[in-house]
Amino acid sequence: METKPTEIGSSKMFGGYNKRYKHFSPTLGCSMTFHIYFPPSPSPSHKFPVLYWLSGLTCTDENFIIKSGAQRAASAEAVALIAPDTSPRGLNVEGEADSWDFGVGAGFYLNATHEKWKNWRMYDYVVTELPKLLSENFPQLDTSKASISGHSMGGHGALTIYLKNLDKYKSVSAFAPIANPINCPWGQKAFTNYLGDDKAAWEEYDATYLISKFHDVSATILIDQGEDDKFLHDQLLAHKFEEACRSANVPVLLRLQPGYDHSYFFVSTFIDDHIRHHAQALEL
């Protein structure tokens, strides 16, 4: 099976190119797709720093690329965008598509320990396999300069992956993240099925818990949250994460945006700020 990425789509945008690729993932045991936005290059030898974007429940690698408009700022700031998929696909595990908030399209960026879901290892895919694949196949990318961001479930993924890998990422931001999953229905459902009843395992994928373990975060964590987001108070729990950051003296900027909901209309409104936040951290 071909582990080397094959280009399956290309479209020009703001002087650069959205490129879609397919490859076989040994980590997940199936074929996966991902997108790269390559900004216009000033020279053939130029290498771009990368910003990983992790999408939310039900999304694929296409949602952010199509809906966010992030390419305009990425082009201006000369940052490449990397958008992976949100779960393994095509494994035909019983029950994988029974609900929209678990299984296909809902990998939660963790490594499942339950035998049935053993292929759901999106944490390893994002942290280890994908960066290695990029560095070996795309010389125009500088994967040693990387930041990470995401929306909803992807915001949860971005925060937890950043906190557990401070040596790999220069900065993190999130839109409406599932910030305290051990205390919300989405997280409890996913963690019970993927990780079993071991609450210590749950805590390893909860940003609000993890923040208390990491005191050497220097870059400000940027979070945008719509005040009219219907999931804010029972699923996302942004205030819990903010409180944990304050207690741990971790720099955080939580911006509550009046009138905005959970959609990509919200994301596209503020994505330029996030691109610039990461560009500054990447010292561009």
pLDDT at 215: 67
Distance CA 140, CA 37 (A): 12
Q: Give the catalytic positions in this structure.
A: 152, 229, 262
For the chain, 284 residues long, the average pLDDT of each consecutive 10-residue run is 91 98 98 98 93 98 98 98 98 96 98 97 98 98 98 98 96 98 98 96 97 86 98 98 95 98 98 98 84
DSSP string, the chain: ---S-EEEEEEEETTEEEEEEEEEETTTTEEEEEEEEEPPPSSTT--EEEEEEE--TT--SHHHHHHS-THHHHHHHT-EEEEE-SS--S---TTTTSBTTBBTTB-TTSB--SGGGTT-BHHHIIIIIHHHHHHHH-TTEEEEEEEEEEBTHHHHHHHHHHHH-TTT-S-BEEES----GGGSHHHHHHHHHHHTT-HHHHHTT-HHHHGGG-----SPEEEEEETT-TTIIIII-HHHHHHHHHHHT--EEEEEETT--SSHHHHHHHHHHHHHHHHHHTT-
Of 12, 39, 13, 20, residue with least CA distance to 284: 39
* Per-residue CA distances from 266 to 129, 149, 207, 233, 235 (Å): 31, 15, 22, 17, 17
Question: Whose CA is closest to 149, among 177, 191, 111?
Answer: 177
pTM: 0.98
Q: In 3D, which of 201, 176, 190, 229 has the Cα closest to residue 55?
A: 176
pLDDT at position 146 is 98
The CATH homologous superfamily of the domain defined by 6-282: Alpha/Beta hydrolase fold, catalytic domain (3.40.50.1820)
Distance from C-alpha of 52 to C-alpha of 135, rounded to nearest angstrom: 14
Residue 283: its pLDDT value, please? 85
